[in-house]
Structure 1
């Protein structure tokens, strides 16, 4: 009998995961038999050289791409072979996303963007959920911007809105793909600190793909990928240590 993902203290996991592109002659193996899980209540960074498979791993774990082989769970639900309708519903209710490009709806104000996941789910937030949204908006410094549309906000403010939207439904797991890539250093650090706080204060689980050692230094755990494999699974590391380790990896490639 399989031990459930929850029993393992995980919010998502993959087992013997493979992903290949192209035909037999031109085949590229992006992932080569990865088994790994994302721990509950932790901020996990996923790092590796270009082409290491880190974004592919995140997209498959999030149900945005399908594997060539292996098994994938979100919570205790195995999502391999799940039809698009069920998978979309599962993502909507269990997963939040923060992307480099923000992906805010330009015709909606801040309040509308934050509450968009509820609208897509065909329901209004409950009173407790409204209290949670208000807490998020306050902690993220958005209270004075709720009636503003995205084009009236700075990059950092837009990313804060994206984080509030990702956390609004209290998803089990938030995936972040290079979330500070379009931000200046100071704003990037503020956004990372907010994400770090979401795990420590609210118990959220965050998995972040990044190439930036400074960004990864905010994480509790760092998974290093190379050539489609997890080559190191480390705890918290300082930025200089991460940069040195990444340089060693690239020199060995």
Structure 2
């Protein structure tokens, strides 16, 4: 394959697609917590590139480092060693204020817990990234938001507050908010974890369509083989390092591979 391969764990020079085709990457990332006998390595030389315009799933057993890797790529946490890039911007040593602006303008988030502001209605929640950045959407951006609202079936929910919505509707609002600024990359952390299976599939379909239709780059952390089967590419972590990747696969194929990983551990 021409993407990241398992050789990235052991080689000094990870194999990536051409850099102009990557929306984010980490190189030899290590993340340690504690010191001495209590020291824990959440990441151990992890290298990964997220291709632009693709839906990438990041999987691994509990404790494999997948959430830590996502937080580092999103600028929510820092590496102990290694390098982190968002597009052509190295964010490894950026200060908190710089990271805050970068996340606000170039990154979107979809979380398991929705993270909507309970006192704001749907319209205000969707436009929140603009408010936090101290700006109003342009005419073109407003038209894009209107399109998102309509395509996500939220037109008749704009004046509702989160507690008046179902879980699936709340996650649709979170997706609209994440897409509103047309970010370079959306990070989705177990986005269907609080949803029933039918609603979860609907949400995953929306994320996949955002990638296929709008060219949105998405990196999703999940433990669920069904969720991962919606992605274009599946990256597997073990013991804090990238150990393999697969193109689109069925839930059964993914489950079988994950079982094999656990048996080899």
- For the superposition of Structure 1 and Structure 2, which TM-score range results when normalised by the shorter chain? over 0.9
Q: Is the 8 A contact 1:5 1:76 kept in 2?
A: no
Using the alignment, how far apart are the partners of 1:34 and 1:244 within structure 2? 23
Q: Is the 8 A contact 1:110 1:149 kept in 2?
A: yes
The alignment yields a C-alpha RMSD, in angstroms, of 1.2
Match in the other structure for 1:218:
230
What are the superposed Cα offsets for residues 143-180 of structure 1, whole Å, 9 maximum, x if unpaired?
Answer: 01000000000000000000000000000000000000
User: Pick from 210, 213, 234: which aligns with 2:246?
Assistant: 234
Using the alignment, how far apart are the partners of 1:117 and 1:57 within structure 2? 24
User: Pick from 232, 249, 253: which aligns with 2:261?
Assistant: 249
Offset of 1:252 from its aligned partner? Answer: 1.1
Structure 1 residue 33 corresponds to structure 2 residue 41: no
Using the alignment, how far apart are the partners of 1:183 and 1:37 within structure 2? 29
Match in the other structure for 1:82:
94
Using the alignment, how far apart are the partners of 1:210 and 1:8 within structure 2? 27
Offset of 1:110 from its aligned partner? Answer: 0.3
Using the alignment, how far apart are the partners of 1:128 and 1:151 within structure 2? 30
Using the alignment, how far apart are the partners of 2:248 and 2:17 within structure 1? 23
What are the superposed Cα offsets for residues 90-143 of structure 1, whole Å, 9 maximum, x if unpaired?
Answer: 010000000000000011000000000000010100010011001111111100
What are the superposed Cα offsets for residues 33-70 of structure 1, whole Å, 9 maximum, x if unpaired?
Answer: 11111000000000000000000000000000010000
Using the alignment, how far apart are the partners of 1:200 and 1:215 within structure 2? 16
Structure 1 length normalisation: TM-score? Answer: 0.97
Using the alignment, how far apart are the partners of 2:213 and 2:158 within structure 1? 23
Name stretches of at least 5 consecutive residues in structure 1 with no aligned partner.
none
Using the alignment, how far apart are the partners of 2:170 and 2:220 within structure 1? 18
Using the alignment, how far apart are the partners of 2:18 and 2:214 within structure 1? 18
Structure 2 length normalisation: TM-score? Answer: 0.93
User: Pick from 188, 196, 200: which aligns with 1:188?
Assistant: 200
Q: Is the 8 A contact 1:5 1:13 kept in 2?
A: no
Using the alignment, how far apart are the partners of 2:67 and 2:47 within structure 1? 16
Give the total of aligned pairs: 250
Using the alignment, how far apart are the partners of 1:13 and 1:7 within structure 2? 9
Q: Is the 8 A contact 2:47 2:241 kept in 1?
A: no
